[in-house]
């Protein structure tokens, strides 16, 4: 079973997280890494993939920081 969660980012945006039943997840359009990293830690999740829908900064701004923490993570996007 998959669950979709929203992680608030900036003043008016969300980063979407898709979680399965064994604590693995993917994030969609991580514009900011800080709330993603905090959410992963708080909920003891393992990040398996990052999905990018397009290249606006509010969708990819956190990508480089997440790659520093997860250098071998799969990044899927256009």
CA dihedral 72→34→56→12, nearest 10 degrees, is 150
For residue 21, the model assigns a pLDDT of: 94
For residue 61, the model assigns a pLDDT of: 87
Q: pLDDT of 2-59, one tens digit each?
A: 999 999 998 888 999 999 999 999 999 999 999 999 999 999 999 999 999 988 777 7
Strands 3-9, 24-28: parallel, antiparallel or unpaired by DSSP?
unpaired
For residue 56, the model assigns a pLDDT of: 78
63 pLDDT more than 90: yes
Strand partners, 36: none
């Amino acid at each position: 079973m998959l669950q979709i969660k929203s992680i608030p980012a900036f003043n008016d945006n969300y980063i979407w997280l898709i979680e399965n039943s064994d604590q693995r997840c993917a994030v969609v359009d991580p514009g900011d890494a800080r709330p993603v990293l905090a959410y992963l830690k708080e909920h003891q999740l393992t990040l398996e993939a990052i999905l990018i829908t397009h290249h606006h900064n509010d969708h990819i701004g956190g990508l480089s920081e997440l790659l520093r923490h997860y250098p071998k993570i799969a990044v899927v996007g256009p």
